[in-house]
Amino acid sequence: MTVASVKKGVTFKQFLSFLGPGFLVTVGFIDPGNWATNMEGGAQFAYQLLWVITLSTLMLVVIQHMAAKLGIATGKSLAVNIRENFSLPVSAFLGITIVLACIATDVAELIGGAIGFNLLFGLPLWIGALLTVLLEIFLIVSQRYHRLETIIIGFLGIIACCYIIELVIVKPDWVALAPSIIIPHVNRSSIYVAMAILGAVVMPHNIFLHSNVIHSRKWGVSENEKMELLRYEKLDTLTAMLLGWIVNSAMIIVAAAVFSRHHIIVTSIEQASETLRPLAGPLAGLLFSIALVFAGVGSSITSSMAEVNVITGFLGKPEDPRTLLYRTSVFITAIPSFVIILLGMDTFKILIFSQVMLSIQLPFTLIPLLILCRKHKVMGAFRSNLSEFIIAALISAVVIVLNIYLLYSTFAGAN
């Protein structure tokens, strides 16, 4: 596609061909970790934390666009750019933190998938987790990227449909919830869950993922050509993030309308499903389980894609499916999930804790991204302008301040 053809306008089919990378990111932030944090938020605080979803999604639009632009401008992922542009000690530290975040992500994805299979088919958790891993590995190793992308978008569509139907079933108080979508409200009792929700939406591994999967599109050769086509990346990102905002908000709204309304404390996803059936009907419970399975499998696929890129990128190795490193990287971060399941630990609390860990790591992903996007020698004509840089810097500052408040609240509460 030439610059001239873009200026004259593209066909709807050509436009659709640019949609996809952003939707892979969206599947990642409506994963089982979101299930746990959003249910906890809705059940404990009703609609009060809906604003966190709105704020997180606005942050995500800016950050994911910058990550995609970095990938387009350099032809390299964020992981590779960090390794090439930062000192070895800094690069190693950042690499270790994101790998730990990937492990936390895998814990959420696999436990969620295991619980989903347990709810639908009565399978033991360890078998459900194993099935999730096997499906993930099969789809990643055996499928071509574009076919895999189509499968993931299909998963996302199923999840969205399930939750939209649930919204109709539970009949929330729209007048009561509307202000909470934009008006912030947080205190010592809700900061932990708020930070978990933030970490579950603005997931660091998804930033690395977007900078890599954006290479699946043909962005042209010249800077002018790439600039013209960059607007379609913006539309892809904006559309996908909007869908994610709808689904995540729906999770909190359903939990508030069912559990908070009846003063029910949610202690596990299994208990939430069992309670949902008598209060909202068997269809709501069934849709909940179906969506959870697709979220678990879909998000485990995208998290593994991110993990492979992170591990190979920071080690300076090719991202080649035929190599032992690639195949090992697909499942190695899943091992802690099996340990947690086999030890019979509290999966619900661990799901929420895993999302808090993502939030704590987030500044170590955002700051390098900002630095790289502001460097002319890295970005060339795609360098972030001052307004974009200031907005992204403010986002990073908000995340850091919330993290400090979280740590203060945690230690102050302990004392």
Q: What is the pLDDT of residues 183-215, one digit of tens each?
A: 998 888 888 888 888 877 888 889 999 999 888
Lowest-confidence region among 251-255, 324-328, 339-343: 339-343
Long-range contacts of 407-413 (CB under 8 A, 24+ apart): 409/188, 409/191, 409/192, 410/192, 412/188, 413/188
State the Cα–Cα distance between residues 1 and 285, nearest whole angstrom.
47
What percent of the chain lies above the pLDDT cut of 70? 93
pTM for the full model?
Answer: 0.86
pLDDT band for position 221 (cuts 50, 70, 90): low
State the Cα–Cα distance between residues 269 and 261, nearest whole angstrom.
18
Quote the pLDDT of residue 3.
38
Domain ranges of the chain: 19-414
Architecture per CATH, 19-414: Up-down Bundle (1.20)
What b/e string do you get for 23-49 counting C-beta neighbours within 10 Å, with b at 16 or more?
bbbbbbbbbbbbbbbbbbbbbbbbbbb
Quote the pLDDT of residue 413.
56
